[in-house]
Amino acid sequence: MASSLRQTTRFAVFGVPMGMLTRALEQTPRPITLPYLLAQGGRPGEPPTPDVILRSAKYTQQELPVRLARRVRQFYSLPFIVGTNPYIQEVARLYASSFEHLSEIKPIETLEDNDHFVNELQKLVDDHAEVVPTLSRGFMECGEYMDSVKITNFLNAALHSRIGIRIIAEQHLALTATAKSSRNTDEMSPVRLTPTSVGIVDTEMAPADVIRQSSEYVRALCEATFEMAPEVVLEGQVDARTMGIPVHLDYVMTELLKNAFRATTETFLAARQAKKGPATITPITVTLASTPSHVSVRIRDAGGGIPPESMAHIFDYAYTTVKSGGEDANSAGGEDITDVSAGAMQSSMGTLAGLGYGLPLSRLYLGYFGMSSLDIVSLWGHVRKAHD
């Protein structure tokens, strides 16, 4: 017996038995699409039935270990000196542990089985909340040991997969929560069921509502950092509707607006110190335009644009033009930015200067379903006036 146990644990990857990992790697993950999520989740605005919950649970239980196993293999393929970095090791072992825990759960056959499963699923979501900043620390420390193109390719694959894992997990958690709250009206659901929603998907998402919510949050950050903030003006087809995941749009808009708020405010303060420029801070204008096939969102700010030498790097991971002290660095890491997390929290609410992952992650979120894109146009040196 002891000999058998040693045999099964001798060959392991980040603590996971090799045989368990190999079996999962023999399977292929199924593509995630919005229509598929809707078809699996029931009718919009209606609480999921027990059959829907069990179908979603079985799909989630089958799909997540396959995706987690591929991430474990991806971390195992890193160069030795990179893979032994403590931050990267931490994330790799987290993926391995999550894979092992989910793989060992017995097949879900009843709603009681699902209750146990969602507890493990919620733990996975919570445990993986800090994966991005932890990875960013690791790769900043290992930049000299791995080609920047290879780092970008690794992170694109890892973070794209992370989005898919979270979509699957959060969709099932949302369906289960709304089903429970419909059976027990005294139980508060963390997910609000609307007449147009199916789990985390909204079939009639209003981008303007999401943008207003993001704007309020970023405005509070900006005021806490600079003691002032520009207004956000919404214009165009503000009643536009589209199918999407509101939390994804909220993330993207928050990241883009953080950049716009910071640049606009810093440019205004510099002009005021030089005793030139407008007397009041210029608003940020967000324009919505709707067609039968898509909704476009355009953000215009008075931040003076992006320096030409920085434009080629704006989608590079960990690239930022902000030092931990707040001034421009035009650096992708190194001596100007010694602690990316400190730079993100340079004041009590200083997330205006983020990890340098905001734009590349935003592009991944928008492009996940292959239907959206993110384009940045810079008018370097142009300071937009209120009437522009």
The pLDDT of residue 250 is above 80? yes
The pLDDT of residue 217 is above 50? yes
pLDDT value at residue 341: 31
Q: Which two tokens stand for residue 30?
A: 């199924």
Average pLDDT, the chain: 85
pLDDT range class, residue 216, cuts 50, 70, 90: very high
Helix axes 34-41, 50-76, angle to 10 degrees: 140
Contact 299, 284 (CB under 8 A): yes
Name all domains of the chain by residue range, CATH numbers in brackets.
2-193 (1.20.140.20), 206-367 (3.30.565.10)
The pLDDT of residue 31 is above 60? yes
3-class secondary-structure state, position 295: strand
- Mean per-residue pLDDT for 213-223? 95
pLDDT value at residue 327: 46
Per-residue pLDDT tens for 111-143? Answer: 999 999 999 999 999 999 999 889 989 999 998
329 phi and psi, to 5 degrees? -120, -30
pLDDT cut 70: percent of the chain above it: 83
pLDDT value at residue 355: 61
Higher pLDDT, 293 or 237: 237
Per-residue pLDDT tens for 164-195? Answer: 999 999 999 999 999 988 776 555 555 667 89
- Mean per-residue pLDDT for 36-44? 91
pLDDT value at residue 312: 85
Per-residue pLDDT tens for 153-172? Answer: 999 999 999 999 999 999 99
In whole angstroms, give the CA distance from residue 232 to residue 241.
Answer: 20
Lookup result for tokens 């160069």? 79
Per-residue pLDDT tens for 336-384? Answer: 333 323 333 233 333 334 567 889 999 999 999 987 889 998 888 766 5
The pLDDT of residue 227 is above 90? yes
Measured between alpha carbons, how far is residue 275 from residues 75, 156, 265, 280 in Å? 53, 44, 15, 12
pLDDT value at residue 314: 86
The pLDDT of residue 63 is above 90? yes
**10 Å Cβ neighbour count for 278?**
15
The pLDDT of residue 233 is above 70? yes
Looking at this protein, which amino acid is placed at residue 289? A
pLDDT value at residue 167: 96
The pLDDT of residue 38 is above 50? yes
- 232-236 and 284-290 as β-strands: parallel, antiparallel, unpaired? parallel
Greatest Cα pair distance in the chain: 82
Q: Which two tokens stand for residue 328?
A: 């421009």
Among residues 259, 220, 224, the alpha carbon closest in space to that of 347 is found at 224
pLDDT value at residue 338: 30
In whole angstroms, give the CA distance from residue 199 to residue 189.
Answer: 12
Looking at this protein, which amino acid is placed at residue 105? I
The model's pTM is 0.85
Alpha-helix runs per DSSP H in the chain: 2-10, 18-25, 34-41, 50-76, 80-83, 86-103, 111-127, 131-141, 148-183, 207-226, 246-273, 308-311, 340-344, 358-367
